[in-house]
């Protein structure tokens, strides 16, 4: 009967769930004397009943962490179940603010004075209990304990407490004596567990996390080289593994170190195009190496600085504005479906910045040098290939974000997505065994809009203007290829359906055109096309199903019509079953 009345607050609910996460078949822990003594001391000093005549002892408090580590979107992705399910708590100053407690309930009358006078109950920011469920006696006891602790502290500080409130606590303590005893025992057990974890933790400043992506992938159809060669239909089983060290020295900075390896191949060598490349590709042959080091800190108010001595990428400090960007581990299964290819046009050591203006505007940018750690002539931080990015975004709410991106690069044209011609430096090396210097200016627009709770619309468009900086000598039989210009385009529309069938799952469809050369004035030999003349569409569908908070399975399919923008090639179809383990 009691449960029918006691609709309390979310701190009680959350604590009750923690305390009863253990199996119900286990025996009840031994009574905690410290907890009982704390209660006895409180009532003895107020002239009320005493549960047992013992000397007082304060109830120890559980330690709270100074900082929650937050990994960037490019590492965990928008689809990380753990990060998306976190909910904050805020103090409630009146029972009347807790909307789903009726004023006619006994619990309302019993707690109204305590909450309004002492602020001892905590609720969710939207002031509901999220379910309108009756609380168990143990959950209510947790809330009662919170109010008793608050009033006890006030008495110790010589703050006046009404006698009627003491009587109210006396009545509740009598009725919930056994639950309070059990609660104290469980708190003692939790304290012992925390003490054990602190003694055996990995580091006092470093948190170790890990991610393993295992993929069963195969090509079911496809042709290359103008339909003259059929692509091998072979199924392969590979993995990408990452170990991540997150270190903080003052609670506001973060040193991120990532070790990575894997065996997932790059399909471009097989398919003859960069279209359909997997986002979790890691062709390292299981050779473990330090892949990325980032140190970030607050340079000034609302300005975050990123220093990357190893393995930098634009998306480390520039948000990619795509709900499906899980860096290959979550969300889209392809590299193109993860983000606008403009974000791939920069890598290596460098620095980055992030900041906000007037709460709704976000800016970010940085500089990366591909060969920044190479002291050779034509390399280094300022004498070799580099990429410079700047982005300005408008985010009026957490449901809508629009961004505009600019990239300038020298010898950093290739994005690893799209046609061979759009990756012009790789194209020249494969066709003529020569190198070419390029300079490019790229412009992009991205947006994501959560129209409904279970529907997110997104997309992007990108344009790159490129010019070569010197002639290309392809042999005595052909004329020298003179300097020229290329125009490269790409676009995509994404449809995401989070929590489509169960909490934490995501269905998605991605349709677009990977980077292609729309215009060129370069004098290739007669048998080579200057531009990508046909139309090739990227169509991708996934369904991400969470087994639990640490395991997710994502079957997905990628269809590339007219691969490499050549209508003579049969459609390329790539299927995969991706399993992601996080710890």
Q: Let me know whether 316 and 301 are in one domain.
A: yes
What is the phi/psi pair of residue 122, to 5°?
-115, 140
* β-pair partners for 455: 452
Q: Let me know whether 217 and 161 are in one domain.
A: no
* CATH code of the domain in which 407 resides: 2.40.160.10
Burial of 323: CB neighbours in 10 Å, binned 0-12, 13-18, 19+: buried
What is the phi/psi pair of residue 339, to 5°?
-170, 165
For residue 318, which of 492, 438, 446, 463 has the smallest C-alpha distance? 446
Cα separation, 340 vs 513, in Å, equals: 11
Q: What is the three-class DSSP state of 256?
A: strand
Domain membership of residue 91 (yes or no) is no
Domain membership of residue 170 (yes or no) is yes
Q: What is the three-class DSSP state of 387?
A: strand
Place of tokens 């100053």: 93
Angle formed by the axes of helices 177-200 and 137-156, to 10°? 80
Domain membership of residue 87 (yes or no) is no
**Rg value, the chain, Cα:** 30
Domain count, the chain: 2
Q: Let me know whether 262 and 305 are in one domain.
A: yes
Element (H, E) at 187: helix 177-200
Q: Let me know whether 195 and 210 are in one domain.
A: no
Confidence (pLDDT) at 387: 97
Confidence (pLDDT) at 401: 97
Q: Let me know whether 577 and 484 are in one domain.
A: yes
- Boundary residue ending a domain (142, 166, 200): 200
Confidence (pLDDT) at 549: 93
Domain membership of residue 81 (yes or no) is no
Q: Let me know whether 271 and 162 are in one domain.
A: no
- Boundary residue ending a domain (200, 222, 245): 200
Cα separation, 329 vs 582, in Å, equals: 9
Q: Let me know whether 196 and 333 are in one domain.
A: no
Q: Let me know whether 450 and 403 are in one domain.
A: yes
In the numeric block, which tokens belong to residue 330? 């979550």
Cα separation, 23 vs 25, in Å, equals: 5
Contact status, residue 413 vs residue 440, Cβ threshold 8 Å? yes
Confidence (pLDDT) at 292: 97
Q: Let me know whether 187 and 247 are in one domain.
A: no
Which residue numbers in the chain have pLDDT < 70? Answer: 1-117, 121-144, 175-176, 179, 200, 202
For residue 554, which of 399, 328, 393 has the smallest C-alpha distance? 328
In the numeric block, which tokens belong to residue 334? 């392809």
Per residue in 211-260, pLDDT (tens digit) is: 999 999 999 999 999 899 999 898 999 999 999 999 999 889 999 999 99
Confidence (pLDDT) at 53: 34
Q: Let me know whether 447 and 513 are in one domain.
A: yes
Q: Let me know whether 169 and 229 are in one domain.
A: no
Q: How many CB atoms lie within 10 A of CB 96?
A: 14
Domain membership of residue 54 (yes or no) is no
Q: Let me know whether 196 and 214 are in one domain.
A: no
Domain membership of residue 43 (yes or no) is no
- pTM comes to 0.70
| Host domain of residue 309 | 206-582
- Boundary residue ending a domain (200, 222, 249): 200
Confidence (pLDDT) at 143: 67
Confidence (pLDDT) at 125: 46
Burial of 548: CB neighbours in 10 Å, binned 0-12, 13-18, 19+: exposed
Domain membership of residue 4 (yes or no) is no
Confidence (pLDDT) at 183: 72
What are the distances in angstroms from CA 380 to CA 26, 374, 440?
A: 63, 5, 19
DSSP symbol at 4: G
In the numeric block, which tokens belong to residue 576? 């995969």
Terminal CA-to-CA distance of the chain, rounded, Å?
A: 42
Confidence (pLDDT) at 267: 92
In the numeric block, which tokens belong to residue 36? 């009982």
Domain membership of residue 196 (yes or no) is yes
Q: Angle at Cα 275 formed by Cα 270 and Cα 277, nearest 5°?
A: 70
Cα separation, 481 vs 491, in Å, equals: 30
Cα separation, 397 vs 448, in Å, equals: 11
């Amino acid at each position: 009967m009691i449960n029918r009345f006691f609709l309390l607050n979310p701190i009680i609910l959350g604590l009750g769930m923690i305390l009863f996460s253990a199996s119900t078949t286990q025996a009840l822990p031994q009574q905690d004397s410290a907890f009982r003594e704390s209660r006895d001391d409180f009532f003895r000093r107020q002239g009320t009943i005493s549960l047992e005549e013992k000397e007082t002892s304060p109830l120890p408090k559980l330690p709270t962490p100074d900082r929650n580590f937050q990994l960037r979107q490019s590492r965990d992705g928008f689809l990380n179940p753990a990060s998306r399910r976190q909910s904050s708590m805020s103090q409630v100053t009146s029972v009347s603010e807790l909307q789903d407690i009726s004023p006619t309930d006994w619990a309302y009358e019993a707690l109204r004075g305590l909450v309004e006078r002492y602020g001892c109950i905590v609720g969710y920011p939207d002031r509901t209990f999220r379910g309108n469920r009756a609380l168990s006696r143990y959950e209510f006891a947790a809330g009662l304990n919170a109010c008793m602790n608050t009033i006890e502290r006030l008495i110790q500080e010589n703050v006046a407490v009404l006698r009627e409130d003491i009587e109210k606590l006396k009545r509740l303590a009598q009725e919930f004596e056994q639950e309070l005893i059990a609660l104290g025992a469980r708190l003692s057990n939790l304290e012992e567990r925390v003490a054990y974890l602190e003694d055996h933790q990995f580091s006092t400043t470093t948190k170790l996390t890990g991610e393993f992506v295992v993929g069963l992938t195969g090509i079911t159809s496809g042709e290359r080289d103008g339909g003259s060669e059929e692509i091998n239909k072979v199924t392969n089983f590979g993995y990408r593994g990452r170990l991540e060290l997150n270190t903080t020295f003052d609670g506001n900075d973060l040193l991120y170190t990532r070790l990575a390896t894997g065996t997932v191949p790059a399909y471009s060598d097989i398919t003859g195009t960069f279209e359909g490349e997997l986002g979790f590709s890691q062709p390292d042959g299981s050779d473990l190496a330090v892949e990325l080091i980032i140190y970030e800190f607050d340079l000034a108010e609302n300005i975050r600085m990123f220093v990357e001595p190893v393995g930098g990428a634009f998306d480390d400090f520039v948000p990619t504005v795509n709900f499906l960007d899980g860096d290959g581990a979550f969300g889209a299964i392809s590299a193109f479906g993860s983000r606008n290819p403009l974000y791939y046009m920069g890598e290596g050591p460098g620095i980055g910045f992030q900041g906000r203006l007037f709460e709704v505007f976000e800016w970010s940018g940085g500089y990366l040098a591909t060969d920044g750690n190479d002291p050779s002539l034509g390399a280094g931080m300022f004498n070799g290939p580099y990429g410079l990015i700047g982005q300005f975004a408008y985010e009026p709410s957490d449901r809508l974000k629009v961004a505009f991106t600019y990239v300038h690069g020298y010898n950093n044209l290739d994005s690893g997505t799209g046609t061979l011609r759009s990756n012009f430096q790789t194209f020249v090396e494969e066709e003529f065994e020569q190198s070419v210097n390029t300079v490019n200016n790229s412009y992009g627009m991205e947006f994501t809009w959560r129209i409904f709770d279970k529907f997110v619309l997104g997309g992007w468009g990108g344009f790159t203007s490129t010019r070569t900086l010197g002639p290309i000598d392809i042999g005595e039989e052909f004329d020298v290829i003179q300097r020229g210009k290329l125009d490269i385009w790409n676009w995509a529309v994404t449809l995401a359906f989070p929590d489509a069938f169960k909490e934490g799952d995501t269905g998605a469809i991605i349709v677009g055109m990977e980077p292609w050369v729309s215009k060129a004035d370069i004098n290739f030999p007669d048998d080579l096309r200057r531009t990508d003349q046909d139309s090739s569409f990227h169509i991708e569908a996934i369904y991400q199903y969470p087994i639990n908070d640490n395991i997710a399975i994502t079957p997905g399919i990628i269809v590339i019509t007219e691969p490499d923008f050549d209508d003579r090639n049969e459609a390329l179809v790539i299927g995969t079953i991706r399993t992601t383990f996080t710890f």
